Every structure is written in C-alpha cells, then in structure tokens.
Structure 1
Amino acid sequence: MIQYVVECIAFQLVFLMVYDFFLKKETFFQWNRVYLIGSYALSLLLPVIKITALKTSLPEDFIVYPEYLWQQDLPEIVVTEKASNWFLNMPLENRILAIGMCIASLIFGYKLYQLRRLKKEGEIQFFSNYTQVLLEKSTSAFSFFKTIFMGDQIKKEYYESILAHELVHIKQKHTYDLMFFEVMRIINWFNPLVYIYQKRISELHEFIADSQVSKKNKKEQYQILLSQVFQTQNISFINTFFKSSIIKKRIVMLQKSKSKRKNQLKYLVLVPLVLGMLFYTSSAQGTANNSSSDKYQLEEDAKLIEELEKEIKKEIATYGTIEEVMQVMIKETNKLKENEIWSKRTYFKTILLYKLNAKNTKVVFGDDVEQKASKHYLPLPSTPLYERYVKREKAFRVLDRNLDISLRRDEYYLELVSPSSSYPKNFHEFKVKNLKKLSGNEIKLLNTKIDAVFKGGGFEHNLILKDGEKTVKVYRTKNIYRINEEVQEKPFVPFSQLDKVPVFPGCENKEDKRACFNTMMQKHINKNFKYPLKAQELGVQGRVSILLTISKTGEISNIRKRGPHELLEKEAVRIISKLPKMKPGVHKGNNVDVGYSIPISFKLVSGNEVNKKSSGIEIQENTVKLKMDNPPLILVDGIEITKEEMEKIDTDRIESINVLKDKMATEKYGKKGENGVIEITLKK
C-alpha cells in the first residue's frame, strides 16, 4: 500500500514537472486538459501495470538452514476471540486514512451545502441550455454543471461577456474535471499534488473560456473586464469568473500568440516517460538472474572459503569456542533490516560455521523427527547456491507484502510458473484479481486457506495462487533450517527432567506441583490473552510454540517463539512476559535454569460460533448441547458444573471452549477426566 502511494506521488510529480516546464505556456489548451486528466489517471494505473518480460523469475532450488529443537511439555492451549469492531481491526495507517477521508468528505459536503443555500436564496431563471441564479447584493459570477450564478451588481456592459464565458464552461463540461479532482482530494487527502493538479486544471478552464469569448468580443475590452477585482466564492469545484489569483495569468495568456503546430511534438515526451515508468514498476521486484544451475564451487568460491576458514580459526582463538563465534555471527546477521539480503561473504561464513559445529547442532525434519545435523545436510557454499538463495528471497517481493509473514521464507518455497503448467496431483487453487495488490478480504481468505492446506505441518499438498496474469506455486519445505535466531546462551534443564519443578505462585501448598504449574500456566494465558486486531482482520490463526527459560532466581527470560504469523508470535510473547516470578526449579540439589515450552493455538470465532474440537458438542439456539453417552468433567472458569447447567449458558457469553480427551484429560484432572474434560472460559 505504502509503496503504491509513493510510486503514484512520484509519477504525478514527474508529470507535473513536464507540464510546468514544457506545456503550461503553450496555447494548446484542449491538449493540456487531456494531458492533466490523463497523466493523473496514468499515475494511478502505472504502479499496478507490469510488463511480463521484465518480471522476476524464480529458481526451483532453495537453500535450507538449521533451526533448534522445540520441546512440547504441555498439551495445546486454545485461545479464541470474536472479531471486534471493523474499524479497530484496521491497521493504524488505514484508520488515519479513513479519518482523513471522512473529514475531507465533510468539507466537500459543506461546499455543496453552500451552493444549495445560494441557489435557494437567489432568484432562479430557466433557459433552454442552462439555469441562471441571480445572487442578491453580489458581484460573483461562476458556474456549476448547467447552473450559472450571477451577482445582481455586475455592470450591464460586462454581463454578456461573462455569460458567454460561463456558457463555455457548461458546454465543455468543465465541472466534471473539477469534480474528478475533488473526489481524488477526498481519497488522497494526504497528497499535496492532487491540489496542484486541481489548481492547474482550473486555470486551464479559464484559459479555454477566455480564448473562446475573445474571438467574438474585442480583446482589449475583455482584458479591462478581467483587470477588475470582484468578490469570489471559495469553492474549489466551481468555475468562478472573478478569481483574482489568476487574473494576471489570464491576461498574459490572452496576449500570447498562438503556439506553432510543431510545438505539439512536445507531447511525445510522454511516450518515453511512460515506458520508463513501466520499466521501473515491472523490474522493481528484481530481474531474473540466469546463472548456471551448476551446484559445484567455482574457483573464486574455493578462494573465499579458504580465506573465511582462516578468519574463523582466528576468531575461535579469540572467543574460545566455535559456539561463541556462532553467537557473534548470528547477532550481526540479526541486525540486518527485514528487506536486506545477506552478502555472499556472510552467506559463505554462516554455512561454514554450521558445518564446523554440526556435531552440536540439532535439526528437525518435518515436525517430529529429530536428527543430528551433519555435513550431508549442509552443502558446501557456492556462488550458484548463493544466487539461488538471493532469487528465492526476492521471490517474496513479487506477492503482496501482507503475505511476507504468512508465507515465511524459512517454511515455504515459492515458484513462479507458467499459467499453462501442469500442477501436482495434490494441489489447491486460489484465484485473486491481482497477486501484488490483494484486498483485505482476499488476504483474510488466503491466510485461512494456507492454514487449512498446510495444517499440522503437512508437505503433501501444494497451493496454487493465480490472478489473470501470474501463477505462483507454494509448497512447504520439508527440511526447515534456521540460523537467524538467538543461540541459547546458557544450558538449561528441561522441565520434564527436573527433580523439583519451579513453583508457580499459588501452588506452594499443592501436593502435585507439576500439575498445578501447568494448570496455572494455562489460566495465566487465558486471563491475559488478547487476539491481535490486525490478525483478526487478516484472518490469521494457528499454533505458536513458545520456549522460555525460568532462571535460577525464578525470573522469566530468553523467550523464543515459532508460529504461522509474526502478529501471533508477538501476542504469545506478550502473554508469557507477564508471568510472575517463581520459586526456581531444583535439579540434583541445586537451583537451575529450566527450559519450558508450551504451544498456544490461536482460533478465530465469529458470531455464536465456538471452537468445537469434539464432535460431542453442538450449538443449538444459542446454547451448548452435549451429544455424549458418558458425561465428561465440565469446568466453567475453573469451576465444575453439571451438564444441565452448561446447557443453560448463552453462547454469547462464551469466549472459548477447550476439549481434553484420553491421556491429556487424565494427566491434568486425574480420574475425574477419564470421560474427557470440557473447559469453558466466559467473557470478562
């Protein structure tokens, strides 16, 4: 959105500069009128028009990077929230835009009210081609569509000339031009150039009318008439005759000789100008680099690796261990801006560091299978592989930027394919109007589609994104590696291996402190949860895995996260950051740092719909109905209730429903949970 606005304003600025320097002083008034309206319309269209030959093409291969193993100590916690007020769901910049448009619309409405009041107070006279409104005690003269407003104090000898002038405005429908820019002023109220455009077209209208009237009247008398200063109406979309700010320009233009026909060639400057803009908008995403597909090292690669290996050895001697060198390297790469791509040198060094440290690096294949990293999984760096990495990063810029987080670079691979290409057997198709510029509703639907297609980390399905021109294939990478996360600075003992778990406030007197800890953790999350407004707007949902450390002093530190969307990750971190200080965990008689992980599942509900994880729950007439032979344990805000009491709850009061079954239920609630557990959270 921001990129589109910046490009529009830049193009408008160029068009206006061409007009002011080359065309403004010419007497080709009708041509200039077409230029001003056409160039503004072009500035709105050019950023979304692409030349196919200049678009980015993507490679098939991709580079993969290591990530850390995430534990799963707790059953998934499901948190839901109804979509709230549509205005609050909007991003801040959209809300500011909407407020500005509302204010601009009110100003426009007030101007229309002024005209209506003048028409109501004046004397109305009807003619065959126009309507005249005679204004009492006024020297104003202006037109609006087919209505001419004339002051009753205008001298009779000037009346015919002024009337002829205003009739030109009516005949050539000048009000439509001004109304077009008035609408643009409402939509683009923040853009100063739209006001300049409207001023230029208004001046041009007066030049056109003056040139027509001066052909039938004595030019000298007409100039005397223009030199008078009269009362004017401060309304931007009317053709006012007596506008003192441009009287001098009109007189100068009347005295100007007619431009030579050869000067019309100046308009040809528009051709290379538009072509240049098309080239810019089409190639801005990055052109394809048709490098060799050869994966082997080049001679220059071997030299760079040799140089970097010496540098790494020197750094190991300085810092002490390879792990310390990796930490320094990762901190440096994390400083890169989001849209920046690693340099070739950084890329090579990072791969070499991980190959050196392979024996201490764990990776995850798919979602579940843990293996030790080895040199086999980390190919030697090479120029062709680096070039593919760069292309892959640039590929994400082909799509709407709102998908940059949904289709994370470390979890999804994107490939531009021909619309006529054959697709894999298991694919899902999603069509939009323009992949580069998605509507809010399209983004919301697409995020829901991504969640459904790749649910559970599946890799057997593909997603095909299409518009009328481009086709993008999306599939999830099977071997997901990451290197741009913080290295765990200090070793910790996993929560499941502790002799004594950390004591959550309120669990001091509980016999089973481990179960109490898990219960209090879930209550804390439900209490502090707030679904991000922008995530609701985009329809983003899914599971966020959180890994945190409970230090030797009981403080919460080193919170790390993994999830389908940055918005959900930030909310999960915010919740965990609010955890209270605890009594530290103990292992082998000493206080230790404890590693604890917990998955939080974000689910959106709308209206009376709730999260139905069990087929034994139905929503009937705003109430929750159970369809189970053996009634489960039912808890509302932690308090046990009966089946009959639950069915009396109005679903409008329900914030979320979480269903636990089998081992998950019995581990948390003991024998009471053997038939399952239904946890209901009511709205505060």
Structure 2
Amino acid sequence: MIHYLLQTIAFQLFFLMVYDLFLKKETFFNWNRLYLWTTPVLSCIIPLIKIEKLGKAVPQEYIIALPEILVGPASEESVRNATVVTSLPAWQWVLIIGSALSLVLFLVKIGRVFRLRYKGRIIKQKAYEEVVLPDSNTAFSFFNSIYLGEAVYKKDHRHIIAHELVHIREKHSIDLLFFELLRIVFWFNPLVYMYQNRMAELHEFIADAGTAGPDKRESYRLLLQEVFHTEKISFINPFFRSSLIKKRIVMLQKSKSKKIWQFKYLVLVPLVLGMLVYSSCEKDTETPEAVPEGVDSVYVPYAVVDEVPVFPGCENAENPRECFQESLLKHIRKNFRYPEKAQEQGIQGRVSVMFTINKEGDITDIKMRGPSPFLEEEARRIIKLLPHMTPGKQKGKPINVPFSVPITFKLLSDSGHEQHAPVKGGPDERRVEAYRDLSKNDGYVYGSVLNSSKGLPGANIKVKGTGRGTVTDFDGNFRIRASKGDVVAVDFIGLPDTEFTVNDKNRYKIVM
C-alpha cells in the first residue's frame, strides 16, 4: 500500500506541474476546473490499473514443489488447525488515526458554518438566501446561502451579491467539499491541499469574469477597497481574501486566451499513457513480503512448462514427473549420511532446500534453511551430487527451472530431540493476519508463511477444491490465484496445518 500511496503522490505532482506550467495562466476557466477535478481522481485510479501486455517485460519462471523426502531411521506426522484473526500493520493504524482526526476537524468546520447561520438573520431571496451576521464584516457563500457581515450589509453590496451568485450557480461549494473529503483520506499528502488552493483561486477568477463589465477599472476599484476580514474555512467561497486580490486583478486585465491554446490540454494524453505504462510495469520491490511479478510459483508445473527437466534415465518415461521424483528420492537416500555431530547432539528436523536447474542442465543457486548447520551442509552436499540434467524448455527454448524440496532428518524417538526449522507453533502463536494491499488488484492472493518471525521456505499452499497450488520461496513468500470465498490450506511438516478463507483482503501473513 505504501508503494500505491507513493505512486499516487508522484502522479499528482506531475499533474500539478503541468497545470502550473501550461494551464494556470490561461482563461479557459471551465477547462481548468475540469482538470483540477479529474487529475487527482486519475492519480488514485491509475496505480490500480495493470495492463498485462505492458507489464510482461520478462518471461515467467516456475518453482516446482517436490514432495517431502524423509531420511533417517524414523518418521513423523502432525495434523492440526489454527485460528484466523485479522490485524493491521502499525503504519496503517497511523493512516486511520490521521484520517479520523481529519474527519473530526472537518466536522468542526461544518459546525462553525452552522453556528454562524444560527447567530445570523436569514433573509429569503428568490434564488438564494442572505445570512446577515451581527458584529462582522465578512462575506462568503456556502451552497445557496450568502453570508454577509452587518458592516458589509449596511453598505452598497450589490457587486458582492453578484459575485457570490456566480459561486452559487456554478456550485463551487461542491468542488471544495470534494477536496475536503480527499483531505480526510490523504491528510498526509500536501498536494491535496495545493489542489484545493488552486481550485479556490480558480473559483474567484470564474466569479470575477462573470461579474466584470466592459469597464474593468470599476471592478479593480471595488476589489481594492473591499479587503476585509473573512472566515478562515477552507470549503467556503470568501469574497474578501487579500492574498488573492492581486492575482484577481491581473487575471481581470488578461485578454481571453486564443482557442488554439486549448490544445495544451492534449498534453494529458501522453502523460496518462506514460503513467499507465509505469504502473503496469512497475514491480513492488520495496515490500519484503512481495513475490516478484515475473515469477509464478505453481504446485504442479508440468501442465504449464512445455518440457520439464529430465533426470538421467527418465528420457523415455511415460510420466516425467513421477520418474523425476523417484530418481531424486533414490539419489538422496543413496548418498545420505546422517551427520555424526547431529546424531550426538540429537538434532533432527526439516531442511528446506531450493535449487535451480539452469538452461544448461546444471544444478545452481542452492539455498537452504534448517535447524542446524550440520543438517544444512549434508543437504547441500547431496544436492551438489545431482547429475547433469536435460534442461526444461518453454516454447522450444531452454529455461531456468527452480525446484523446492523439503528433506526431513528424523532420528528414532529415543535417540534425540526434534528441531524443526524453526519449531515454535503453540496454539497462542498460530494465526493468520489479513489486510488489503491497494497496489495489488490482479486476482492473486499474496502472503508470507512465518515461524518465530522467520520465513518458512517450501511450505505447501493449496486452494481447496481446485488444482491450484504453490510453494513458498526461500523467504517464505508466495503468490497464488484465489478468489473471495476460496479456502487456502497451508501445510509445513512438523507444524500444524493451517487454513483460511479468502475475504476482501488480498495479503496474508500466516504464522505457524
């Protein structure tokens, strides 16, 4: 979500720069109003749009999850379920609390307007109503009400009424309330405040243009003589705002912009297209829980990999998958030697091994995580002894194929104590945390499987009732296609099984 917020802010910055550099000084006020309305909305929507054709920058690879291989003089089993709870990260709580405070501030502002109305004297007119405020020299409009200080009301205020009526007819209060609502959600984003200021400034230009007669000098004189105090409420349209007087006079002096300059708005087209390309191709590399977009983990990859790697001796096998698994099992059991120091210390448990059969058929990129360096080194030694393979192919071209295989070292129950990697998992510790990641909207569920705050590589993830499944990577992360209502099962040998039902959230942290 942080990545989404950063993208939103960056896009709003680009849109504001275009407005200030190319559009702000033009007299196409209604076009500018539309621009200030649509661009902050586009900034929020574009990061959520993922165009697959733009995003496919690299070919996909597949992680093949092989069944667990048990070595040692004993076996093990374990089945249990965990409870599902939902929680939010601390930084999301900060956003929620900030939005709640902004909402309270907004309600306070609304309350100030209603208090002024309650204290004032209401005079009904045909198309609007006047609210005369005692002991005040303010003047502003809010929806179809014009608020006038008593000091202003006693003078000739026809030009003020005409000015505020433009605000009422054009429904400028809706614009400012829209930005007030944006400020509640994006209270931390200074660009939203800048957008609101630009819109308020534009409103005054529109109202001045709607009331200025042929002799604009009279309009200048009225503006200069009527610089009074006004209520500091961000969603009203005040007539007297001294900081705007000079800009309003300058804009009144300007001649109407030539129609040809309307083509400036076409700069939006390449700008939006560029943002779409960036959003579709950008990968969420900042979040440690994310799985790279170019890697798709699958539980049964033989349906999607055209030609899987072939173990020597399996070239003519009817079922390449079974032959590969059987050959790997024979290889590991043939070359396995339980480390003496591990036996002496009674160390046992599961070592999660990940390796790649590269485009040349060699074993590369061996990674592992286990309860003891003794077990890890033995697993590494066995995998290094694997023979040269026939590489896997996709569309006729050799590809790198990553594999995940859990190797469980098990002693007899009276010869040692079990040490899974890691092996905490009491009922109070098991949980599933779910939250919404706005930067992900692609039909996948993202997550991580952890134990003792460490990622569990090689955990099996399956969507019940479907053929879909995957395995966690070396850091315990996964990505799997799942829809709301699907039941996702997570199992890791030596730890209780866990299930959770996919809800409207799309990122999960499973603590086993």
Structure number with greater CO (CA < 8 Å, separation at least 6) is 2
**Where do 1:119-134 residues align within 5 Å?**
119-134=117-132
Change (3 A) 1:534 1:147: same
One-letter amino acid of the structure 1 residue matched with residue 48 of structure 2: V
Question: Is this contact kept in 1: 2:140–2:164, CA < 8 A?
Answer: yes
Aligned residue among 243, 246, 252 for 2:244: 246
How far off its partner does 1:345 sit? Answer: 13
Question: Is this contact kept in 2: 1:295–1:385, CA < 8 A?
Answer: no
How far off its partner does 1:377 sit? Answer: 7.0
Question: Is this contact kept in 1: 2:138–2:230, CA < 8 A?
Answer: yes
2:352 paired residue number: none
Aligned residue among 135, 149, 152 for 1:151: 149
Aligned residue among 473, 495, 500 for 2:411: 495
Provide the rounded CA distance (Å) in 1 between the counterparts of 2:193 and 2:448: 48
Provide the rounded CA distance (Å) in 1 between the counterparts of 2:307 and 2:154: 88
1:487-509, Cα deviation, whole Å (9 max, x unpaired): x9xxx97332x75435x9xxxxx
What's the secondary structure of 1:230's corresponding residue? coil
Aligned residue among 326, 339, 351 for 2:363: 351
1:37 paired residue number: 37
How far off its partner does 1:604 sit? Answer: 6.0
Aligned residue among 521, 529, 537 for 2:429: 529
2:262 paired with 1:264: yes
1:562 paired residue number: 459
Larger CA deviation: 525-534 vs 160-169: 525-534
Provide the rounded CA distance (Å) in 2 between the counterparts of 1:543 and 1:62: 18
Number of matched residues?
A: 392
2:496 paired residue number: 600
Question: Is this contact kept in 2: 1:543–1:602, CA < 8 A?
Answer: no
2:27 paired with 1:27: yes
Provide the rounded CA distance (Å) in 1 between the counterparts of 2:455 and 2:88: 31
How far off its partner does 1:107 sit? Answer: 0.8
1:91 paired residue number: 89
Structure (1 or 2) with the greater helix fraction: 1
Aligned residue among 361, 374, 394 for 2:382: 361
1:208-229, Cα deviation, whole Å (9 max, x unpaired): 001111127x532332332343
One-letter amino acid of the structure 2 residue matched with residue 95 of structure 1: W
2:389 paired with 1:482: no
1:224 paired residue number: 221
Provide the rounded CA distance (Å) in 2 between the counterparts of 1:5 and 1:558: 26
Provide the rounded CA distance (Å) in 2 between the counterparts of 1:345 and 1:525: 33
Aligned residue among 359, 377, 385 for 2:398: 385
Provide the rounded CA distance (Å) in 1 between the counterparts of 2:206 and 2:455: 71
One-letter amino acid of the structure 1 residue matched with residue 83 of structure 2: E
One-letter amino acid of the structure 2 residue matched with residue 351 of structure 1: I
Aligned residue among 74, 78, 102 for 1:76: 78
Change (3 A) 1:353 1:105: closer
Aligned residue among 189, 192, 202 for 2:190: 192
Question: Is this contact kept in 1: 2:357–2:363, CA < 8 A?
Answer: no
1:15-74, Cα deviation, whole Å (9 max, x unpaired): 111110111111111111111112222222323345564352886874648897456854
Provide the rounded CA distance (Å) in 1 between the counterparts of 2:111 and 2:103: 12
1:117 paired residue number: 115
One-letter amino acid of the structure 2 residue matched with residue 170 of structure 1: I
Change (3 A) 1:57 1:82: closer
Provide the rounded CA distance (Å) in 2 between the counterparts of 1:535 and 1:252: 51
1:618 paired residue number: none
Provide the rounded CA distance (Å) in 2 between the counterparts of 1:45 and 1:150: 40
| TM-score normalised per structure 2 | 0.63
Provide the rounded CA distance (Å) in 1 between the counterparts of 2:44 and 2:448: 39
Provide the rounded CA distance (Å) in 2 between the counterparts of 1:17 and 1:279: 20
What's the secondary structure of 1:129's corresponding residue? coil
| TM-score normalised per structure 1 | 0.48
Question: Is this contact kept in 1: 2:137–2:148, CA < 8 A?
Answer: yes
How far off its partner does 1:559 sit? Answer: 9.3
What's the secondary structure of 2:431's corresponding residue? coil
Question: Is this contact kept in 1: 2:143–2:168, CA < 8 A?
Answer: yes
One-letter amino acid of the structure 1 residue matched with residue 196 of structure 2: Q
How far off its partner does 1:243 sit? Answer: 1.5
Provide the rounded CA distance (Å) in 2 between the counterparts of 1:60 and 1:493: 33
How far off its partner does 1:268 sit? Answer: 1.9
Question: Is this contact kept in 2: 1:28–1:259, CA < 8 A?
Answer: yes
1:90-137, Cα deviation, whole Å (9 max, x unpaired): 233332222121111111111111111110011111111111111111
Provide the rounded CA distance (Å) in 1 between the counterparts of 2:393 and 2:379: 13
What's the secondary structure of 1:25's corresponding residue? coil
Provide the rounded CA distance (Å) in 1 between the counterparts of 2:431 and 2:172: 51
Question: Is this contact kept in 2: 1:359–1:373, CA < 8 A?
Answer: no
How far off its partner does 1:176 sit? Answer: 0.9
Change (3 A) 1:73 1:558: farther
Provide the rounded CA distance (Å) in 1 between the counterparts of 2:133 and 2:248: 25
State which structure, 1 or 2, has the greater radius of gyration over its C-alpha atoms: 1
Question: Is this contact kept in 1: 2:137–2:152, CA < 8 A?
Answer: yes
Provide the rounded CA distance (Å) in 1 between the counterparts of 2:263 and 2:456: 66
How far off its partner does 1:545 sit? Answer: 11
**Structure 2 unaligned regions, length at least 5:** 284-292, 296-305, 310-354, 367-377, 438-444, 462-470, 477-492, 502-512
Provide the rounded CA distance (Å) in 1 between the counterparts of 2:169 and 2:436: 51
Question: Is this contact kept in 1: 2:425–2:495, CA < 8 A?
Answer: no
2:13 paired residue number: 13
Question: Is this contact kept in 1: 2:57–2:281, CA < 8 A?
Answer: no
Provide the rounded CA distance (Å) in 2 between the counterparts of 1:278 and 1:183: 25
What's the secondary structure of 1:153's corresponding residue? helix
Aligned-residue CA RMSD (Å):
5.0
One-letter amino acid of the structure 2 residue matched with residue 529 of structure 1: E
Provide the rounded CA distance (Å) in 2 between the counterparts of 1:264 and 1:213: 24
Change (3 A) 1:41 1:82: closer
1:251-279, Cα deviation, whole Å (9 max, x unpaired): 22112222222222222222222222233
Question: Is this contact kept in 1: 2:36–2:199, CA < 8 A?
Answer: yes
